[in-house]
A and B are shown apart, each in its own frame.
Chain A
């Protein structure tokens, strides 16, 4: 049984088609990367996966449970980290996690055991009583991951979870989630617009203007994911922008960089150094 099965999903905002006949699946324990430029339809897909929006066309199954027919069973299997922080900043880490456990109907004692476990695992036990407002971006993300995992979902959805983090925190977050995937057998769907967050072993879905333009193992895209991405999204300038952003942090000499310069090569396994 697939962890996630998206079949024939289409969604339109009035006359504007945001997703067209999207289909892909993820096996349990896999790390799936969903890559696409802004406006590709990633946010709409996340809204559908988290049941914020109702399905218009097609179906989404999470561990066999259809979001259309069995939304409650499907949501039980799903943990979500949203792009924008959804923590209560004035509440403590513990209070935020306890609230989430309550939303999932967990009995208090069991909830406390799970909170202890997750805080330990995320290396946040000592920050338990700190207000979220006092944590840095990386730590807040880890609280959100702890929260998403409290009810022991089998599919973890991270929507541009690295957005707004400094390169070191971004790298640490990616490593952390991949460890969860490897060690816990968790299936992960990671949406991003940054090429360097993708590793060769990942399942890669490239979305552009609401359509699936590529789907397969990242290694199949060749050595230069940047070029593949630019070719697939049909916008070389856009692809080059992404390659630059992915390869290195901005430096002074980048200012005034010639726009017609050849595309830099990027290896999919290469991260920010």
Chain B
């Protein structure tokens, strides 16, 4: 067991050191959600108030509404980016070193996914701190309660990213991922607008949003931030995380990428 613990510790520590040393990457990852919050939401704030909906106890402003969705957006980008870099790296670079470890490959990949997820959480909390100063202030205990929810969502999205990059050749560049994965997941969810608003404009768009796993991720985090448990969202996210991690680990094979290149 010690070997597994030391290995996990080493992988997480390395991600931490890289995170500390690459401050510019950290800051640029914060710019995107902050633009949404400070510019986009500010513009919409005047036009759009949100009626009382779960889990909020009162009318809320638009910027309050979108903070959980933006927190999940950070995890979405990081998850996809992290997993893609694992794919780029697997033929050369750090993944080759990781894979020469004698510990089981499934464990190494899961540890790597977990390490990436933990580092993403730091970015989310930096964003939540700025949002707090800006005026979006969920209950202080909510910030703590959201931690496991955010971790689960981070794992879910990293596993999804790894699975996609294992299987689909066209996704080997980030622009493709943005267009075909990140944007649809993000816009067809409850991150930017409540689903009942979506239903008013289109029934089928509403259904697309309702089955989108990212909607459940956002709602899990939103409820946790306001000290509520959204059991359905929790079960869906936990089940999907386990399933996608299993599929991603099982389908991870650098050989497939090499064969695809020539095939």
Which chain A residues have a beta carbon within 8 Å of chain B's beta carbons?
13-14, 16, 47, 50-54, 71-73, 75-76, 78, 80, 82, 84, 86, 88, 90-91, 95, 98-108, 111
Contacts and interface: CB of A to CB of B under 8 A. Distances in A.
Interface residues of B, number: 37
B92 A105 contact: no
B70 to A, nearest CB: 29
Interface string B82-108: 000000001111101111111110001
Given A16-B262, A53-B254, A84-B93, A72 B103 contact: yes
Given A52-B96, A103-B97, A90 B6 contact: no
Contact of B6 (A80, A88, A91, A106): A106
Interface stretch (B16-24, B226-234, B239-247): B16-24
B100 A75 contact: yes
A75 B101 CA distance: 7
Contact of A90 (B18, B92, B96): B18
Contacts, number: 103
SS class of chain A's interface: helix, strand, loop or mixed? mixed
B263 A14 contact: yes
B96 A107 contact: no
Contacts of A100: 97
Contacts of B254: 47, 52-53
B4 interface: yes
B170 interface: no
10 shortest interchain CB distances as A-B pairs:
A102-B10, A105-B3, A103-B101, A75-B102, A13-B262, A72-B102, A53-B255, A90-B21, A76-B102, A14-B263
B13 interface: yes
B7 A14 contact: no
Contacts of A16: 262
A103 B22 contact: no
B2 interface: yes
Nearest to A76: B102
B18 A99 contact: no
B52 interface: no
A78 to B, nearest CB: 7
A61 B255 CA distance: 20
B258 A53 contact: yes
B259 A103 contact: no
Given A103-B10, A107-B6, A91 B21 contact: yes
B168 to A, nearest CB: 18
B2 A107 contact: yes
B8 to A, nearest CB: 8
Contacts of A13: 258-259, 261-263
